[in-house]
Amino acid sequence: MVMVKICTFDLENDKMAAVVAAISENPLETARSAKMLGADILEIRFDLLNITTPDDAKKLVNEIKSATNLPCIATNRLQSEGGKWSGTEEGRIGLLIDILELVDAVDIELSAGEDVRERVVQSAKSAGKTVIVSSHDFNRTPAVDQMRKTLDDCFDAGADIAKLAVMPKSMQDVLNLLQVTNDSKAPVCTISMGDLGKHSRIVASCYGSVLTYGSVRDAVAPGQLRVDELKTVLEMLL
């Protein structure tokens, strides 16, 4: 399996998933709290922070980096994938590209237009940054073969890490996602959302998921656990 790093955080040699804290409100205060709770990496959700210009984004990243010294993932999520970006697609993509020099990784949706997605991926790779290509289904858990294809499509699109989040309707759905995770030959982040899949945010690490996302205060995704809860249980388990 080809492994990757996010800044200095080694996803190859650490036996448990890196805990990523979602920064979605009061960013500087939340980032400091995330570090105190044990977060390994910060995900800066520009769409939830109402950051719309590259200058404001750069100022914020510099402040967060200075305050925490933690690796940062830039995310500016599409509304169709659970985000709240309300500007133009050109503005959304432009912000991600303009901020690349200051962050350590970027998350771009598989469902984004191929041309704009390619611009982000190639810009990130040219800058030596880690690329996460993500896919979210808030309604269901697709069949095993479809989930495998989605992950393959993420890698074909240039992902260093393929992220797949789905909504389970049964425990079998959760088991199917874990099976897909276990079968992957490349780095993935897999999440079964909601209360039914809450434990997947912990146990998916046992099957090869290299990242797990936690909240600092309010959850930004269904079933999300708090960073310190994730960290404690992962350390006990692994």
List the domain boundaries for the chain: 14-237
Residue 3 confidence (pLDDT): 60
pLDDT of residue 90 exceeding 90, the answer is yes
Please report which confidence band the pLDDT of residue 214 belongs to, taking 50, 70 and 90 as the band edges: very high
User: Measured in whole angstroms, how far is the alpha carbon of residue 21 from the centre of its chain?
Assistant: 9
Mean pLDDT in residue range 159-176: 97
Distance, in Å, from the CA atom of 64 to the CA atom of 23, rounded to the nearest integer, reads 10
177: left (phi over 0), alpha (psi -120 to 50) or beta: alpha
Average pLDDT value for the chain: 94
CA 220 – CA 5 distance, rounded (Å)? 24
Residue 1 has pLDDT above 90, yes or no: no
Tokens matching residue 48: 């939830």
Higher pLDDT, 115 or 14: 115
Q: What value does the mean pLDDT take over residues 103-110?
A: 98
Q: Taking residues 92-113, what's their average pLDDT?
A: 96
Least confident of 11-15, 162-166, 234-238: 11-15
Question: What are the strands, taking DSSP E only, across the chain?
Answer: 5-6, 9-10, 18-23, 41-45, 72-75, 105-109, 130-137, 161-166, 188-192, 211-214
Q: Is the pLDDT of residue 78 over 70?
A: yes
pLDDT for 197 equals: 95
Q: What is the pTM of this model?
A: 0.95
What does residue 214 show for φ and ψ, rounded to 5 degrees? -130, 165
The more confidently predicted of residues 168 and 80 is 168
Average pLDDT on 36-65 reads 96
Task: Inform me whether the pLDDT recorded for 57 exceeds 90.
Answer: yes
Alpha-carbon gap, residue 156 to 21, rounded angstroms:
27
Indicate if the pLDDT at residue 12 is higher than 80.
no
From the candidates 35, 129, 163, 231, give the one annotated as an active-site residue.
163
**In the block, which residue shows the tokens 């276990």?**
182
Residue 199 is a catalytic residue:
no
Model confidence at 13, pLDDT cuts 50, 70, 90, reads low
Q: Look at strands 105-109 and 41-45 and give their pairing.
A: unpaired
Per-residue model confidence (pLDDT) at position 218: 75
14-237 maps to which CATH number?
3.20.20.70
Q: What is the pLDDT of residue 220?
A: 74
Q: What is the token pair recorded at 183? A: 């079968």
Q: Examine the residue annotation and report whether 65 is marked as an active-site residue of this protein.
A: no
**Catalytic residue from among 35, 129, 136, 231:** 136
Beta partners for residue 111, in sequence order: none
Q: Is the pLDDT of residue 75 over 80?
A: yes
- The mean pLDDT value for 156-185 works out to 97
